[in-house]
């Protein structure tokens, strides 16, 4: 059994299980019912005042601060990393009673070429560097190239790898093929944690999402992640609900806790709270920590900072009052 060294948490790392169609073949997801549940998640629960501030700080700690652009340079990635180390203004943290807690984001997420920069800037912190891989975002390159990419990124110092699955395997029902593919990625990752991007916006149905989630967990995913952020539709609550229910199912079957990462389109503090509520309600407090929950987001932090300042001062805040990344 491998223990989790990277994230220093108590839980066992997912070892996967043998490919077993019985575990997912009969799964059916009722879209309307799922939508009804997600429509009331945010109306059944509400966090206010210091609870809201604490929950937003928790959200900050779960953000994979991300920059995935063609024009990323060492310069802006350096700024990104600095923001990851100090995501919220110190005076605010002091007012919130959180000074000295070492609050930082969950990780920094970049393309392969920027790994060395990030690793260097984050040296001495416990902030992991995550790299997107396997032909991100479309995944339309050869398997050899994909494996190689993972190996190179791990060698460059990434301790988290966000891989994309081959959507054609889902769409054509090649579940065994998907299993083998993801298993190979996991092997290539070695000690690095693997987040498996389903690109749910391209999987057509929630039932497919439910099946793909299970297959990826069977193959050893440490996290399952909704989207690359580049699909037409990215993280939605219904898709997330289906995925976290799959995580619960897998946990109940194997005892392994798999993490969840919604990505793309989460820009507001209020939205972040909805996802935290989703995790709390469907999986419980264990999953409200960065070792099992991440937001893939670039704009979210800014809105949270403004909300936190509002909590502290009672006045509505402006984005220029917060240091940019």
Q: Which residues bind other proteins (CB under 8 A)?
A: 26, 28-37, 40, 43-51, 53-55, 57-58, 96-98, 101, 205-207, 245, 276, 280-281, 285, 288
Q: Which is nearer to other proteins, 36 or 321 (CB)?
A: 36
Closest separation in Å from C-beta 119 to other proteins: 28
Query: Residue 76 CB, nearest distance to other proteins (Å)?
Result: 30
- Residue 199, classified by CB atoms within 10 Å of its CB into exposed (0-12), middle (13-18) or buried (19+), is buried
Collapsed DSSP state (helix, strand, coil) of residue 64: strand
Active-site entry in 183, 211, 225, 289: 225
Taking the complex as a whole, the smallest distance from the CB of residue 145 to other proteins amounts, in Å, to 34
What is the distance between the alpha carbons of residues 54 and 10, in angstroms, rounded to a whole number? Answer: 23
DSSP 52: H
Of the CA atoms within 13 Å of residue 135, those in its CB half-sphere come to: 15
Give catalytic status of residue 83 as yes or no.
no
CA-CA distance, 166 to 150, in Å (whole number)?
A: 15
CA separation for the pair 84, 72 (Å, rounded): 16
Distance separating alpha carbons of residues 235 and 268, to the nearest angstrom: 13
Give least dist CB 109 to other proteins, A: 23
Could you confirm whether 222 is annotated as catalytic?
no
Quick one: tokens of 258?
A: 């798999």
Residue 48 is a catalytic residue: no
Which is nearer to other proteins, 4 or 249 (by Cβ)? 249
Question: Do 227 and 263 form a contact (C-beta atoms < 8 A)?
Answer: yes
The CA distances from residue 221 to 92, 119, 305, in Å, are 37, 23, 32
- With respect to other proteins, which residue has the nearer C-beta, 58 or 310? 58
- Residue whose tokens read 């820009």: 267
Which residue of the set 83, 195, 211, 261 is catalytic?
Answer: 261
CB of 55 to other proteins, least distance (A): 7
Measured CA to CA, the distance from residue 301 to residue 83 in angstroms comes to 10
Give whichever of 63 and 77 is closer to other proteins, judged by the CB atom. 63
Min CB(283)–other proteins separation in Å = 10
Q: What is the DSSP secondary-structure string of 99-135?
A: TTS----SEEEE-GGGHHHHHHHTTTS-PPEEEE-SS
Of 64, 83, 162, 195, catalytic: 162
The two structure tokens encoding residue 253:
């079957």
Nearer to other proteins, 190 or 255 (CB): 255
Token code pair at residue 234: 């990215």
Name which of 55 and 175 has its Cβ closer to other proteins: 55
Region for residue 226 given its phi and psi (left: phi exceeds 0; alpha: psi -120 to 50; beta: otherwise): alpha
Q: At its nearest, how many Å lie between other proteins and the CB of residue 237?
A: 13
Report, as residue numbers or ranges, the catalytic residues.
Answer: 162, 225, 261
């Amino acid at each position: 059994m491998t223990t989790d060294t990277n994230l220093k948490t108590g839980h066992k790392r997912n070892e996967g299980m043998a490919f077993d169609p019985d575990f997912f073949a009969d799964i059916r997801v009722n879209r309307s019912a799922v939508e009804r549940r997600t429509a009331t998640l945010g109306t059944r629960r509400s966090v206010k005042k210091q609870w809201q501030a604490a929950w937003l700080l928790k959200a900050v700690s779960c953000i994979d601060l991300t920059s995935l652009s063609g024009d990323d340079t060492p310069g802006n990635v350096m700024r990104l990393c600095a923001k990851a180390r100090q995501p919220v203004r110190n005076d605010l943290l002091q007012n919130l009673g959180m000074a000295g807690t070492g609050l930082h984001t969950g990780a920094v997420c970049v393309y392969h070429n920027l790994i060395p920069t990030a690793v260097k800037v984050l040296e001495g912190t416990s902030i992991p560097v995550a790299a997107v891989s396997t032909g991100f975002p479309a995944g339309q390159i050869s398997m050899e190239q994909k494996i190689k990419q993972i190996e190179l990124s791990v060698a460059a110092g990434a301790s988290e790898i966000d891989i994309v699955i081959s959507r054609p395997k889902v769409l054509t029902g090649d579940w065994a093929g998907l299993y083998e593919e993801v298993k190979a990625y996991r092997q290539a990752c070695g000690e690095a944690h693997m987040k498996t991007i389903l690109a749910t916006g391209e999987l057509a149905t929630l039932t497919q999402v439910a099946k793909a989630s299970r297959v990826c967990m069977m193959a050893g995913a440490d996290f399952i992640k909704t989207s690359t952020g580049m699909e037409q539709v990215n993280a939605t609550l219904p898709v997330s609900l289906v995925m976290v229910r799959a995580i619960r199912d897998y946990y109940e079957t194997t005892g392994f806790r798999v993490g969840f990462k919604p990505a793309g389109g989460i820009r507001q503090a209020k939205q972040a709270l909805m996802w935290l509520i989703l995790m709390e309600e469907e999986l419980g407090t264990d999953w409200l920590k960065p070792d099992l929950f991440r937001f893939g987001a670039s704009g979210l932090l800014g809105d949270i900072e403004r909300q936190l300042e509002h909590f502290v001062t009672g006045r509505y805040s402006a984005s220029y009052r917060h240091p940019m990344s």
